[in-house]
Amino acid sequence: MKKLGLFGYPVGHSFSKIFFGEKFDREQLQDWEYELYPIEKIEKLKSFLKDEPEMVGFNVTVPYKVAVVNYLDEIDPLALTIGSVNTVSIIETQIGKKLKGYNTDAYGFEKSFKPLLNTSINKALILGTGGSSRAVKYVLRDLNIPYTSVSRNKHDNRIQYDEVTEATLQEHNIIINTTPVGMFPNVDEAPLIPYQFINKDHLLFDLIYNPEETLFLKKGREAGARTKNGLEMLLLQSDKCWEIWNPTVGVRGQESGVSV
């Protein structure tokens, strides 16, 4: 049996187990399984993996996409540039197993987000500054879309939520939520921005996909904005993960990387 899984805390909201379970059933891959692993402290990762010799790879979700880098033996150049890892391959070597990190979030986000763009796009407002936001920033830079980050904490290159004004939303007609605010089971929550100033010229993208429509997206839709959730992004990045983990496609363990 070859085991895959999702590490984070919490993980109960994730559809990854369903996605891969259906994939394994559909393709009759009876020797693969995917599980959810809620780990309260990232320090427990290595000891957990020692007890799971059949584990060949895993995904990483909040709040460990940045911290997991410190537990890797090697990192893919793209993930190193982004500064965030959401996919890890466990590679067998002559001197034992090594962990190699990748970022497939950027791929999934770009493929899902890019078709939404039009000539009226000006600037993006990124809500949150965690690991997922780093992949979003990478894609926006690649697409030459300027952005402003919003955080709960004061910092030189970002603003706080109480600094988001009508003028801010007039200047930024893309709003991307990279935080877990509004994710199941806390479906009655939404990032604290002045939704009354959102209009039909705005595009709201939420990396959350459970629930299907977050309160953030609902408020945007009711104001006339275009909206999209993160489900397609999840499916796209999951397919990219599978290419990394599945040795039959000739990818796992063969790419270039940087030792860490």
- Residues that are catalytic: 65
* Residue 256: burial class (beta carbons within 10 Å; 0-12, 13-18, 19+): exposed
Q: Is 34 left (phi over 0), alpha (psi -120 to 50) or beta?
A: beta
Judge contact between 127 and 193, C-beta under 8 A.
Answer: yes
Structure tokens belonging to residue 23: 């994939």
Judge contact between 208 and 214, C-beta under 8 A.
Answer: yes
First to last CA, the chain: 29
Judge contact between 69 and 62, C-beta under 8 A.
Answer: no
